[in-house]
Amino acid sequence: MADTAALLQGALLGVLAPVWMLAGSADWLCHRVQRIETSTGLRESALHLLMLAELGIAVLVALLLETTAAALALMLAACVAHELTTWADLAYADTRRDIPWYEQLVHGLQQVLPWAAFAGIAVLSGDQALAALGLGSEAADWSLRWKAEPLPAWYLASFFGASLLLVLGPFVAEFWLCWRTRPVAR
């Protein structure tokens, strides 16, 4: 069982996380090609930053905190909030600009990856996942605390650096471009 858990954790950290970042970069590139600053503009870009913040909470919890019932609940709430914001974003953008097939494929990845990560983390912490539902033999731990065995510093530095370079930086730049080109009322 320990080998399976190590394999799943490796897949989450070494495969799913980089794919998520690349999907974020691809989405940003789609927006550049579509020139959203001239169509949906600031509102769509603000929704993108909101989605990043929502998932950012889940990612920080997953990387830095023990996976307790409270941490799982917080990650679940962040995933639900991200899903709702995604729906709002797509409903807004779809009426104002074309969303080409390749961008829709990227969006599909961006919608499923948070849920896949959450499911993987819940499996890795099955006792607390069951306890949060009132099942199993373990008591639910509703505390939030730092990981007793933190992830290696090199991984965290690499993850946060790549996130800044591939996801957060480009979407902040997108927001700035949309802000600069927004129509100004006279």
User: Is the pTM for the entire model greater than 0.85?
Assistant: yes
Joined tokens for residue 96: 């104002």
Q: Give the pLDDT mean for 166-183.
A: 95
Q: How many residues appear in the chain?
A: 186
**Predicted pLDDT at 178:** 96
Domain assignment present for residue 165? The answer is yes
Number of alpha carbons in the 13 Å side-chain half-sphere of residue 62: 26
Domain assignment present for residue 186? The answer is no
Query: Domain total for the chain?
Result: 1
**Predicted pLDDT at 3:** 87
96-99, Cβ contacts within 8 angstroms, sequence gap of 24 or more: 96/39, 96/40, 96/44, 97/34, 97/36, 97/39, 97/40, 98/34, 99/34
Domain assignment present for residue 61? The answer is yes
Domain assignment present for residue 111? The answer is yes
Across the chain, mean pLDDT equals 95
Residue 50's domain comprises 2-180
**Predicted pLDDT at 185:** 57
Query: Helix 69-94 crosses helix 101-124 at what angle (to 10 degrees)?
Result: 170
